Structures are given as C-alpha cells and as structure tokens.
Structure 1
Amino acid sequence: MARTGWLRWGSLGVAVLVLVVFLVAQRQSVDVSYGQSPSSSGTVEEGSAGELSDATVPSVEEMSALVKASPVVRLPGSTAYWDEARVNAVIGDAHILVAPPGLDEAERGRVRDVEEAGIRVIGTEVTGGAYQATADTLPDWRAQFATGDVTNLLVTLAAGIAKRPTPPDVDGFRWREPTAAEVEPVAADLRASGLHVAAGATLAKVPDSAKTAFPDGALYVALPRQPYGEPVPNFGPALVKLFPDKPIVVLYGEWIEYHGPREADFASVAAASFYGQAADRISRYAYPQGNVLHAYLNRVTDVRYAGLFDRPLPYVPLDPLRVALPALPWLFAACAAVFLALSATSLRRKAFTTTGTPARLAGLTALAIEVSGLSHDPSVVRGIAKLTAASEALAENLPDQHVRGLLDGASRDLDEVARALGRNDYLSDVYLRGRVA
C-alpha cells in the first residue's frame, strides 16, 4: 500500500515538474540569426556625420525668377547630369531646378517651395510634386553615384507626372580598361600601404570597420566622382590580376565596387543590400567617402555574419531542453494518467459501500483520465488539481460541503475541456449519467 502511495504521489510530482518546465520554456525567445554582428552602424542626426556642405541656395523669390526665365536652372555646386535628348523627349514644358547636395533641411525646403519648378534635383535626388523617382537596380545606382547620371530618374518622373508610359531604362554607364600608366601608381600604393587615394578623392584613411568586414585585410582604392558621359576606368579586374585572392574595394565617388574572392555572388549581395537602404540619404547629402565606406563595410560585416559566405558554422552545444521539449506534454499526460488511475483505484474501493460524493469523485476522476490524453488545455491541469484536493479532503473527513465545492469546480474545468474538444459526451453531467446507466 505504501509503495502504491509513493508511486501515486511521485507521478503527480513529476507531472507538475514537467508542466512547470514546459511553461517556462515557452517564454524563451527564438534567435534565428547566424550570429550577433559587431558592426557599428546606427542612426545619426542630420549634420553629425559630415554630410552637410557649405553650399547655399538663393531665396525662394530669386530661384522662382531664375526658373521662369529658363527651363533648366543649375545652381552653383550642382552635381547631377543627364542625357538631354532622352529627357527632353518626355519632359514637356516642365522646368527643372538643380541644387547642390549637402543642403540642410531649411535650404532643401526653400528649393521645394519654388512652385515654378516642376522637377527638382537636390544632389542626385529627383522629385516633382508629390513624387520621387528612386533607383532600384545596381546599374542605376552605379550611374547615379559614380558619375551623377540621373537620366533614368528624370525620364521616369517626367513620364509619371505627365501620366505617360514610362520608357525603358537605358544604362548610359560605360567601362574601359585602364592603361598601364594608370594602373602602375595605384598598384605601387597598394603594395606600400594597401590604400591609394587619387587626386580629388575625399577618403582620408580606411575606417576601423574594415577590421570586421575583412579580418584578413583588403586593398582600397579611392577615386573622385567620374566625369559624366565618359568611359570609366575599371581598375578592379586589372588589380585582381596583380593581387590574386585579395579583397579589393574601389570607390568611384560614392559608388563602391568589390573585386576578389567570391566576387560573382558576394559583390552584388553587399552592394544591393547597402544601396537599397542608404541610396536615399547618399543622393541628397554630401557625405565624405570615408563615411560612405564606413557604412558599406558595416553592411559587409552584417552580410558575413549572416552566414552566407565563407564563414564556417560555429559549434553549437546540444541543448537537452530543446530536444526534449516536444515530448514533455506526453510525459505530463502519462504521469497525470498514472496518478488519476491510482487515485480512482483507491476511490473505487469506497464506492462499493458508499454513494453520492465518493461516486461523483470517482466518475470525474475517470473523466479526467480520458480527456488528459486528448487535450493539453490548462483546464485539465486545474481540474486534476481540484480532484486531488477533493480526494484528500474526503480522506481526512472534511465537511462534505467543502468536498462538493471542489468537485463542482473540477466539473466546470472538465466541461471547458469538453467544449474545446467539441465532445458533448465528455460534459461532466452527461458522462456521469452514462456511468450510472
């Protein structure tokens, strides 16, 4: 008898322990990232990252007068260019106001207040009315940030304003092979320090973010924005021949090219990820190349820590909880069934000589055993707890009113389970009548 009692209460203790472990585990957050990237990117306030230039714009009245007098007004410091023939074919009578990049919010507001300008270009950001044209492909971003070409953006915006079909984009960017005289000084600087800064480029030094982006080191070439309409020297392939298996990063103004290991897939992923998010800010501000490169290298770090390229998966020790978690509900149900079965056995002995409360306790206990295997609803746990309390109260000869109150509560809990299962035959009154019949 003592052994049966130990087994009975032991199974109840295990069931409670399993239930607690299972419920606590549900609160754990799931981390599906490859790893925590150490990149230092973050949100910055306007003017805190060197993106504002010394350029200013005239008053709204002065700019309005200029726009009325000319279909295209280019303010000092403007950097945007376009294919006039393509733009003129779709622009109609709209006037274009072109402003320099790096203006603060107040100066950009004055440019937008010039109502006579149907299209406004600030840096290489193209807007008109309530519309803004934005690039969404690598060729368009490359033309925009390497040479200041906004032809496709202007054509798209002008067609949209005029409600005409948008002509297909044309890639006006052209590469050319650099000459030996152009490659030689670049290669010499890379051999000496790993960095070449051409005349007109604004990169002062390689940002510290390079250490996490390319832990084994890389070579960097900084060139100024290239002349619009002229072929651009493609230094990457030429330098790869001289420095095989070495990552090479080339800046053409605000456009960044990657060459080297895994170039075919890594370069496009890193560029699309970076410019897809940063192009809007780069287009209207005058960021130094060091700031643009810093942000790009942070994105490279994020891509590498995403586990996509040449990073072996880290060792992850076995987590017993996550392995056992799917089995915990079944273990709980088994322990609860053992406890209830043993409790019902002891109660059935009393049911031969007494009726009323003991018989109802036995019937509800049998019902709880059946539904515990069909549902993990919390009401099952509450019902079992009340039945256990009722069994102890009955054994200790506590007032019958107290026992009936516990049984009434258990009955309500088991009715909730029956309704959740859609089984009217498991409603406590229906089930007990069936046992009597």
Structure 2
Amino acid sequence: MLLALLALLLIAAPTAVSAAPDDPTGTEQSEPAGEVTWSPEAAIGELRTSDWAVMPGSVAVIDRTAVEAAIGDSGIKVLVTPFSGLSEEDRDAQYDAISEVRDAIEVDDVEVIEVTGLSVGASIFDIVPSDLAELHPVLERFDVTGQVVAAAVYLQTRELPDDAPQATPATAATAAEVAATVADLRRDPVVVRDGAVVDSDPEQLWRNRLPDGALRLVVMPPIAVGSDDIGPTAADLAPSFPGETVVVLRGRWIDIAGPDQQELDSAVAWSYGFASSGLFGWELDPGPQVALVARRLAEIRSGVVTDQATPDRSDPLGFVLRVLPFVALATVLVLVVVTLRRRSQERVQELQEAADAADRRAAAAARLPDLAAGILALDGLARTGTDAGIALERASRNYREARQILTGTPDSDRAGELVDTAGREIATAADLLDVPNVPGALR
C-alpha cells in the first residue's frame, strides 16, 4: 500500500447530470444532483455507540476480524459509505456528509477511517494500492481489507505495513463453462451475468473509438472474496474469436485478450491510472469504462500519415508502451499529491496551494505518453539539420527534461512549461513535414 495525500484526479469531472456517451465516467444519474444516498445523522449515531457504521448501499468488502485486530483498543472507528454520484454536486455532497460525520466523531483523539465505495481515507490521506497486484482484489472483488488495515496501522504508528493482500488463486474454467460462454457471446457480443448492470451500449462505445475493432464483452459482478471460481477468462475465450478483442469485466477489473496483447495490456494499465478516482469512488457504468480502453488503443495504433507504415506489431511503439503503465501507475498510485479536505481553516490555503501544484504535475505527467508517441511518429521523417529536425530535437530534449523532473523532485510549473514547449515543437515539426494528427502536438 502507498500513502497519498488524497487520490489524484486525472479525469475531468462531469458537471451535468449525464455525460457524453464515451466519457469514461458517464452514465445518467439516478440520484438528484447534490444529494447522498445515506444519512450522516445515522452514521454519527452508530459511531457514537460502535466502532463501525456501514451505510446502506455500501459495496466495499472488509474483513472485520483483520481490521479489528489492527485497530486494537486505539479507539479508531470505521465509516463505510456507498459510491458517490458522478456529478460535481453529488461528489461535493458526499464530501460534505463525510466531513459532517468526522467533525462530530473526531473528538478526544478519536480518528475515523472513511471508505467511500472502494476509496479508503485516513486523516488527510488516502491509502491506495501501489501496483497492479494490490489493485487486482480491490477492483475484482471489491475487497478493501488491505487498505483499511493499512489505514489503521498508519493512524497509530504513522507508518504503513509491508504486507500486501494476496490474490486468491483461481480455478481454471471447465471446457463446458468455456463452451457455454462462447455460445452466449456468439448470440450477443455483450453478455451481462446476473448481478451485473449495464445501462449503456458497450459495443457501440467501443466502435466509436475503434470503428474496425470487434468487441466481445462479458460483464460480471464482483467475485466473492475467497471464491476461486471466476469463470472463463478472456484468454480462455479469445481463441474462439480470432481477430477480435475479448474482455471479461469482473467487478471493475478488466481481463482482456486478443491480437496485439502488449497493446491491450498497456491500454488497460493506462485506463486504471487515468480513471482511478472514478474506479475507486464513483458510480460507473461498465460501457464507458471499457470504451476508455478503446480510446487508448486507438491512440496507440493510429498511423499519422497514409503512406507511413503502421507501427510494427511485434514491438508496437515500444518505448511508449513501456512508459504508458509507468505514467498511469506512477502518476496515480505512486505520486504523493494533495487535494483540499475541509478541515481546520488555518490549513485551507496551504492545502489548496498544494492541490493546485499536484493538479499541474498530474496534467504534465498525463501528457508524456502522447509526446513520446508524437516524437516517435516523426522520427525518421525529419532529417537532421532541417527546420523540422531541429524542432523535433528540441521537443525530445524538453520531453526528457520534463520526464526527469516528474520522476524526481517535482517542480510542477517547470514540468508543465517543458511539456507545453515540447508539444509546440512537435506541432512545428509536424506542420513542416505536412503530417496531420500527430499525438502530443500543441497548437
């Protein structure tokens, strides 16, 4: 587990009740904007007489025995609430409701661990998975026990435990189970299992991003904690659909297989980083979540000119594919960032300034993959010594310096300037070479 000064937000928050069809967070809201589905007054009442308050609609799975062993007699209490709505008003209302509970309960050195959906907070910190192995049980099984235990340990020791949750070994699906699922997918490219809900059209959202890409999707509810039966995997199903992408969505964990597996894995890793705040804390529809992967695949696979060869699939955009998971995970799961939590008034300005710096750093880091893709797209077309070659060299130099800053001691303003400059130089080189639609170009 890693400690973050609240989770990094990399996706724009929709402000309307509904979002665009291919928005990674978008689906029509069932609750009025600015409301929560649970009662802070009820939570306060429960926490005054108990160490736990689990609100109706909560989805997080928590091993109470493990958490209570970590809490001991410290007096730490746990508040568990449902996912927040998607709109900014709903998320503000959720935040205000949690703050109301904490202000009422956190007296006489009592501290509250808060769980919103799958997001775990302690003090002004979020406890977040440090890698995909830790993320797996959270998204697939909605099991946040490891995060809550880590939060309890941190509040008492100001250190995080080294132990990470262990994934439950999965039993291979039988041939009959695979055949049955294949038959279902032949009848309908989107199969929704009992307990899962899909309000969008995932296949259409996928084709909006990848017009020539075929999708077979199985949507499943979260797997029960401790169960080794996860059903057929994407790898089990893919041989029956050659040339197509097969996705099995278990909870919010994306199991994917198909042509160009390296590209698929990179796009999924990027989507986890890009949409992490939503994956942990918000109500989401499976369709837009899967469409976000299609969006990244389209960006990775796009050719920049009609007479330029498609990137070699044996090592497609090799450097970019190596950097994509790094940026996704390092930006969201590793960087220590700050956002404002309405605590004591004397800290408001300090936290807001830190939040602004974190936003700038996140924005710069999120643009690195596109810059790398743009540089690679033009490399070989721009001759050394020409105006285009000079512009591309300047872009490369600024990109490298920005990456060094973002992976070392951060200077968000300097990194942002370097990223902007690199983007403008890529645009200059692309214009000189008459190459349209180059990734990362800033005009």
Name which of 276, 279, 302 aligns with 2:299.
302
C-alpha separation between the residues in 2 aligned to 1:319 and 1:262? 28
C-alpha deviation, 1:99, in angstroms: 0.5
TM-score where L is the length of structure 1: 0.57
C-alpha separation between the residues in 2 aligned to 1:325 and 1:76? 60
Task: Indicate yes or no: 2:251 matched with 1:229.
Answer: no
- Tell me, what secondary structure is at the counterpart of 2:126? strand
C-alpha deviation, 1:150, in angstroms: 0.6
Cross-structure match for 1:100 = 82
C-alpha deviation, 1:243, in angstroms: 3.1
C-alpha separation between the residues in 2 aligned to 1:252 and 1:166? 28
Q: Relative to 1, partners in 2 of residues 1:108 and 1:87: Cα closer, same or farther, differing over 3 Å?
A: same
Cross-structure match for 1:111 = 98
Q: Alpha-carbon deviations, 1:205-224, whole Å to 9, x = none?
A: 22434234473423222222
Contact 2:58–2:81 (CA under 8 A) maintained in structure 1: yes
Task: Indicate yes or no: 2:270 matched with 1:273.
Answer: yes
Q: Relative to 1, partners in 2 of residues 1:234 and 1:320: Cα closer, same or farther, differing over 3 Å?
A: closer
Sequence identity (%)? 23
C-alpha deviation, 1:290, in angstroms: 1.4
Task: Indicate yes or no: 2:50 matched with 1:50.
Answer: no
Q: Relative to 1, partners in 2 of residues 1:199 and 1:322: Cα closer, same or farther, differing over 3 Å?
A: farther
C-alpha deviation, 1:234, in angstroms: 4.1
C-alpha separation between the residues in 2 aligned to 1:275 and 1:320? 37
Cross-structure match for 2:236 = 238
C-alpha deviation, 1:59, in angstroms: 4.2
C-alpha deviation, 1:100, in angstroms: 0.8
Q: Alpha-carbon deviations, 1:116-175, whole Å to 9, x = none?
A: 261010101111221111223212222112211112211222222212451320223432
Name which of 38, 53, 62 aligns with 1:73.
53
| Gap runs ≥5 in structure 1 | 1-40, 328-437
Name which of 127, 130, 133 aligns with 1:136.
130
- Tell me, what secondary structure is at the counterpart of 1:76? coil
C-alpha deviation, 1:317, in angstroms: 9.7
Cross-structure match for 1:282 = 279
Cross-structure match for 2:215 = 218
Q: Relative to 1, partners in 2 of residues 1:213 and 1:134: Cα closer, same or farther, differing over 3 Å?
A: farther
Q: What amino acid maps onto 2:187 in structure 1?
A: A
Contact 2:136–2:167 (CA under 8 A) maintained in structure 1: no
Task: Indicate yes or no: 2:238 matched with 1:258.
Answer: no
Q: Report which of the two has the higher share of helix.
A: 1
Q: Alpha-carbon deviations, 1:313-367, whole Å to 9, x = none?
A: 979996689637889xxxxxxxxxxxxxxxxxxxxxxxxxxxxxxxxxxxxxxxx
Cross-structure match for 2:202 = 206
C-alpha separation between the residues in 2 aligned to 1:324 and 1:289? 46
C-alpha separation between the residues in 2 aligned to 1:46 and 1:122? 21
C-alpha separation between the residues in 2 aligned to 1:240 and 1:318? 37
| Gap runs ≥5 in structure 2 | 1-10, 19-25, 106-110, 304-309, 318-375, 391-443
C-alpha separation between the residues in 1 aligned to 2:145 and 2:247? 27
Larger Rg: 1
Alpha carbon RMSD of aligned pairs, Å?
3.3
Structure-to-structure mapping, 1:79-98, within 5 angstroms: 79-92=59-72, 93-98=75-80
C-alpha separation between the residues in 1 aligned to 2:186 and 2:45? 55
Q: What amino acid maps onto 2:132 in structure 1?
A: L
Q: What amino acid maps onto 2:258 in structure 1?
A: G
Contact 1:256–1:271 (CA under 8 A) maintained in structure 2: yes
Contact 1:175–1:234 (CA under 8 A) maintained in structure 2: no
Contact 1:51–1:102 (CA under 8 A) maintained in structure 2: no
Q: How many positions carry a matched residue from both structures?
A: 286
C-alpha separation between the residues in 2 aligned to 1:147 and 1:213? 29
Name which of 182, 185, 188 aligns with 2:183.
188
C-alpha separation between the residues in 1 aligned to 2:184 and 2:38? 43
Q: Relative to 1, partners in 2 of residues 1:296 and 1:318: Cα closer, same or farther, differing over 3 Å?
A: closer
- Tell me, what secondary structure is at the counterpart of 2:218? strand
C-alpha separation between the residues in 2 aligned to 1:179 and 1:219? 20
- Tell me, what secondary structure is at the counterpart of 2:275? helix
Q: Relative to 1, partners in 2 of residues 1:140 and 1:57: Cα closer, same or farther, differing over 3 Å?
A: same
TM-score where L is the length of structure 2: 0.57
